[in-house]
Chain A
Amino acid sequence: MKKISIKDLNLYYRDFQALKDISLNIDAKKVTALIGPSGCGKSTFLRSLNRMNDLIDGVRVEGRVELENHDIYHKDVDVVTLRSRIGMVFQKPNPFPKSIYENVAYGPKRHGIKNRKQLDEIVEKSLKKAALWDEVQDRLNKSALGLSGGQQQRLCIARALAMEPEVLLMDEPTSALDPIATAKIEELITELKKEYTIVIVTHSMQQAARISDETAFFLMGELVEMDQTQRVFTTPRDQRTEDYVTGRFG
């Protein structure tokens, strides 16, 4: 079942075209990995799925991005609602300089949940889902900045999950982490795909191979090919994909 479908997406930074005619479908409750060399447009593409590119001056978007058949670039669309349905985790862990509790409760509070008991419950549930509860339950009111990098990133995942999103976008979520913390996050992603649709940008092909169901390979703003992960890595259709996954460039 497709969750997001992208048709003929073009994106420009002023005169520079960063994405060229991208069309692809993202399946529900699967992990889709976006791979490609630096500057290939994979992060830009990811950020166009929750309209984070809107924040940048001079960005222009053409084409359609549909979330369950609703065009998210339609003029009546409320980006605030959109972003509460599509969560995002960033490259560098970016917890707010607030307590662990306040970080997780931030989204629900902005959406009008004020009841302390309800918030407590959301915080606990989200932290458990992000496999962080056991490590932080006795210091929820301590600053989030005191956590390790890996813990901070799981906190950011918990923070996104607290909004009960349908889709989770992850922009190289492990690139700033050590191997052990990375393994934990990968394990978590495999667990989370039971409930969520996950799109992950990664610079590591091993990571894409380990955790994703589908893989899309981007090169210079174009989608070269997209298929089941296994096939992309074993029997790619395009020579450029083969060159990349076998490490001949990039």
Chain B
Amino acid sequence: MTDITMELVKKKKGKALKKNIKNSMGEYIIEKFIFILGITSIAIIALIFLFLFRSGIQLFNDITLQEFLFGRYWFPISVNPQYGILPLVAGTLMVTLGAVFISVPLGIGSAIFIAEVAPPKTKTVLKVIIEFLSAIPSVVLGFLGIVFLSSWIRVTFHLSSGFTVLTGSILVSFMALPTIISISDDALNALPQEYHEASFALGATKWETILHVLVPAASSGIIAAVMLGVGRAIGETMTVMMVTGNAAQIPNSFLVSGRTMTATIAAEMGDTVRNGTHYHALFAVGIVLFLMTSIINFIADFALSHGKKEAR
């Protein structure tokens, strides 16, 4: 044996099988440190919850829960301020509903086309473009919404203003589309190749296979995709703030102005007095928003894990 290998052997033999305190301390410290990093996400969720509640709950020193949840008027800076969240919830729901009507058929249709119909090269190009769509900052879409879409809507529908719920819905649908497309596409791609083969072997056409075999089999993934798209739409802030006109009213059609919860927070926070009623009211709106998106996310997660179980 050479000297060097002797040295290595000695190093090991010296230790026998006993634990080396220095080494195992190092490992122990690293392990604990990584554990702390591992639970940051729980900490952050807990902190978000805590800080929203800490400020939001104080609203109810000044007004009642009923006034907040069922109040039909949001007039935070009038002489006789009112903090009814209904018009904001209605605004958010209308914009989201419109966005769902547009983005769900477009999204699922595109996902089917990309996953099952398009030739491989086209598929790659389409995926890159869809990814680019998700990269466009919402403020850029909002900017183009102001410049083009709103005037197009104003002219097309003979309105006095093009800043409507519909304008918001169209833009928001484009923000939700990448989510819906990529997750549905994943769900379709995750299906085993045998499904295609089995169906073709029975003499079904490609389209029949898609319609009767693939889409039903991927349905839980597609539902999750739609839910996450809805979550995206509810949470979208800048685009809607820039194009929906922001009138705090319960919209009675898609062609009038509306104001969402997100836009309210972003637009009004700058004008509030720290720890005033208005400030607390915006945090309370934040709580409602947080709860809504959480529920939607849980549904999406449930659909996904449910789908996985069924697939097994």
Contact = CB atoms under 8 A, between A and B. Distances in A.
> Chain A interface: which size bin?
20 to 34
Contacts of B19: 76-78, 81
Contacts of A125: 2, 5
Interface in B75-126: none
Contacts of A81: 12, 15-20
B73 to A, nearest CB: 57
A122 B17 contact: no
B4 A122 contact: yes
> Chain B interface: which size bin?
10 to 19
Contacts of A118: 4, 7
Residue picked from A74, A80, A81, most chain B C-beta under 10 Å: A81
Classify the secondary structure of B's interface with A: helix
A77 to B, nearest CB: 5
B156 to A, nearest CB: 58
A78 B2 contact: no
A122 B7 CA distance: 11
Nearest to A121: B4
A113 B2 CA distance: 14
A34 to B, nearest CB: 23
Contacts of B11: 111-112
Interface in B1-42: 1-2, 4-5, 7-9, 11-12, 15-20, 23-24
Contacts of A70: 16-17
A28 interface: no
Contacts of B7: 113, 118
Interface string B176-204: 00000000000000000000000000000
Contacts, number: 54
Given A78-B19, A81-B15, A82-B17, A164 B24 contact: no
A33 interface: no
Contacts of B2: 121, 125
Classify the secondary structure of A's interface with B: mixed
B8 to A, nearest CB: 5
Interface string A42-85: 00000000000000000000000001001010101110111011
Contacts of B9: 164
A113 B24 CA distance: 19
Interface in A163-178: 163-164
A36 interface: no
A166 to B, nearest CB: 9
Nearest to A118: B4
A151 B127 CA distance: 40
A122 B1 CA distance: 11
Given A80-B23, A125-B5, A111 B12 contact: yes
Nearest to A126: B5
A122 B12 CA distance: 16
Interface in A84-128: 84-85, 108, 111-113, 118, 121-122, 125
Closest 6 CB pairs of A and B: A78-B19, A118-B4, A77-B17, A81-B15, A164-B5, A164-B9
Interface of B: 1-2, 4-5, 7-9, 11-12, 15-20, 23-24
Interface of A: 67, 70, 72, 74, 76-78, 80-82, 84-85, 108, 111-113, 118, 121-122, 125, 163-164
26 contacts: A67-B17, A70-B17, A76-B18, A76-B19, A77-B17, A77-B18, A77-B19, A78-B15, A78-B17, A78-B18, A80-B23, A81-B12, A81-B15, A81-B17, A81-B18, A82-B17, A84-B12, A85-B17, A108-B8, A111-B11, A112-B11, A113-B4, A121-B2, A121-B4, A122-B8, A164-B12
